[in-house]
Chains A and B, each alone.
Chain A
Amino acid sequence: MSYITKSPWVIHYDGSSCNGCDIEVLACLMPMYDVERFGIINTGNPKHADVFLVTGSVNEQNKNVVKQIYEQMPEPKVVVAIGICACNGGIFKECYNILGGVDTVIPVDAYVPGCAARPEAIIDAVVTGLGILEQKRQALANGELLKEPEPEAAVAAPEEAAEEGKEEA
C-alpha cells in the first residue's frame, strides 16, 4: 500500500440493503479491523470523500440520492459496490421495486461479492479501489481526460483515415 500518499476518506450510503453489509462496513472502522489507522475516515459529506461505498441495490426512490452523492464528490473518485445486492440485485433481483445493481445508475470501479460481504473482502476492495484512485489522480495531474473516448468515435476515426488514404492513392 506504499502508493497511497494521501488519507482516503470514504462515504457510505445504504441503497436498499438489509443492514448486513452496512454493519460490516462500520465493523471495518472498529477496533477489530481498524482501517482508521491507515487514515481512512468515514465522512458524512460527499464533498470530502474520495471513495463512495454503496451497499444494497438501487430502487426508484433512492436512484436520485445515489446519483446526487456521486455527482457531488470531487474528481478523482472511486465507487465500490458492497455485497451481492449492490453488484446485481442479489436475492432481491426479482422484486418489483429493484432496478438492479448500483452500476445501472453510476459507474462502479470495484465489486465485493458476498451476502453479507465480509469485512476482509470490503477492505480488500477498498485497497483495490485506492489503486484505481491513484491512477485516476495521475491521469488528472497529467491533464488526461478521465472519460474514455466514445466507442463510436474510436471506431470511426481509423475508417476515415483509411478512406482519406484511398482518395489520395
Chain B
Amino acid sequence: MGKRTIIPFGPQHPVLPEPVHLDLVIEDEKVVEAIPSIGFIHRGLEKLVEKKEYPEMVYVIERICGICSFGHGWGYCAAAEGAMGVEIPDRAEFLRTIWHELSRVHSHLLWLGLLADGFGFESLFNHCWRVRETILDIFEETTGGRVIFSVCKVGGVRKDIDADTLKKIADTLENIKADIKSLTDVFLDDVSVKNRLVGVGYLSKQDAIDLCTVGPMARASGINQDLRFNGHGKYLEVGFTPCIEEQGDCYARCKVRIREIFESIGIIQRCIEAIPEGAIDVPVKGKFTGEFITRMEQPRGEAVYYAKAFDPGKETNYLERMRVRTPTNMNIPAMVKTLQGCDLADVPMLVLTIDPCISCTER
C-alpha cells in the first residue's frame, strides 16, 4: 500500500473543455476520495432579473449554457407562461419540440465526440463532430444561429419554419442516420472501446436513487425517469419510448445516449408529419404576475425552473426571483461516488460520462 497523495485535476485540463477542479486522493493507482470544488464560472446571472425585464430575461437564461441553450430558454418561457396563464398555440409548441430534440441530437453527438477524445480515439472524435455540423446547419438555416438561437420568447416562438424546409429537415435526418449508426457501432461493438467502458464506474440502482441522479445517468442505472412525459411539448402526442439500461456502468450511459439520438430523430420526424398550420405566438402584454415552477428534460437530465412575481398589487415588469436547478448539479454526488476506488487513468472517463456542463451548474 503506497502513501496517500493528492493529485489536483483541473481547472485547466486537456480532457476538460470547461473548468472544474477535483482533488483526487490516491493510494498507488487507486483513487480513494475525490473532493470537487466549483465556482470558476459563477456569474450570478439569476440576480440579473433585477435589471432585465421579463421578456429580455430570455436572452440571459439562454446563455446559461451554449449546448442546451434552447432548452433553458424554453424552460424559462414555460415558467413565465405558466405564471401569467398564457396559452401557447399548437404550432409553436411543435416547433419548440423540434428545436429541442435537434438540440438533444447535437448535444449527444458532441458528448460522444468528447468521450472518444477521453479514451484517446481522436479520429472518432472528429467524425462525431463532423456529423454534428449537419445539425448545426439545420439550426443556422431555421434560426440564424449555430449555438444560441434566441427563437423562444414568452408567448411562443419568433420564427416559423415553412413546409419545404421541414420536409428537408426530415430528409436530412433520415440521411444522416446511417452515418450516425456507423459511428455509434464503434462505441458499442469495438473491443478496445468496450474495454474502456464496460464495468467502469458502476452505479447501482439504489445508489442512483439515493444520490438523486437525473437524466441519462439515472436511466443507465435502470430508473424510468424521463420528464418528457410531464406535459411540455408535444411528446405525448407524437409518442416516444424512454431509453433505459440496467447495467449502470459507463457503457450503459453511452448506450442510453446513443439510443436517445435515434429516438429524438424519430420524434422530430413524427412532429414534422403532425405539425398543424396556425399562429406561432400570442401577444403577451402587461406586468409580470404569478408564481410558477416547472420541470424540463434537458439533454443532461431534469432541470427545474422557478419564476416569481412581486406581491399582488406591486407587480412590475421585473421578476422578484428566478431560480434554475440544473442536471449536472444533481449528478456530481454520483460522480464523486463512482470516482471512489477507480483507477487514476479512468478518472477522465468517469468525469465525462455524467456529461458535465459546468456553465449550467455554476451559472
Contact = CB atoms under 8 A, between A and B. Distances in A.
Interface of A: 12-24, 26-27, 30-32, 43-46, 56-57, 59, 61-62, 65, 69, 91-92, 94-98, 115-116, 118
Given A91-B63, A94-B51, A115-B63, A13 B147 contact: no
A143 to B, nearest CB: 33
B148 A20 contact: yes
B155 to A, nearest CB: 21
Contacts of B19: 13-14, 62, 65
Contact of B42 (A12, A45, A97): A97
Interface string B42-66: 1111011001000000011001111
A32 B133 contact: yes
Nearest to A98: B43
Contacts of A61: 39-40, 42
B280 interface: no
5 contacts: A14-B19, A18-B359, A30-B133, A31-B129, A65-B12
Contacts of A16: 40-43, 362
| Most chain B C-beta atoms within 10 Å of own C-beta, residue among A14, A17, A18, A23 | A18
A115 to B, nearest CB: 7
Contacts, number: 118
Contacts of B44: 95-98
B40 A22 contact: no
Contacts of B51: 94
A96 B47 contact: yes
B147 A24 contact: yes
Contacts of A17: 41, 66, 359
Contacts of A22: 17-18, 66
Nearest to A34: B126
B269 interface: no
B48 A18 contact: no
A164 B66 CA distance: 62
Contacts of B63: 18, 20, 91-92, 115
A64 B67 CA distance: 26
Contacts of A20: 63, 66-67, 69, 147-148
Interface string B12-38: 111001110000000000000000000
A31 B18 CA distance: 22
A116 B43 CA distance: 17
B84 to A, nearest CB: 24
B41 A27 contact: no
Contacts of A27: 129, 133, 136
Nearest to B42: A97
Contacts of B83: none
B147 to A, nearest CB: 4
Contact of B13 (A23, A26, A30, A44): A44
Contact of A19 (B48, B59, B60, B357): B357
Given A18-B66, A62-B40, A31 B146 contact: no
Contacts of A59: 40-43
B146 A116 contact: yes
A13 B129 CA distance: 20
A9 B232 CA distance: 46
Contacts of B359: 17-19
Given A27-B129, A32-B133, A14 B41 contact: yes
Given A23-B17, A65-B11, A94-B48, A15 B148 contact: no
Given A65-B40, A97-B43, A30 B12 contact: no
B177 interface: no
A118 B64 CA distance: 18
Interface string B110-144: 10000000000000001101100100100000000
A16 B11 CA distance: 12
Interface in B131-190: 133, 136, 145-148
Contact of A30 (B43, B126, B362): B126
Nearest to A13: B12
Contacts of A97: 42-44
Contacts of A21: 66
Contacts of B146: 24, 116, 118
Contacts of A45: 14
A31 B45 CA distance: 34
A79 B145 CA distance: 26
A22 B147 CA distance: 10
Given A19-B18, A30-B129, A92 B42 contact: no
Contacts of A24: 146-147
Contacts of A31: 126-127, 129-130, 133
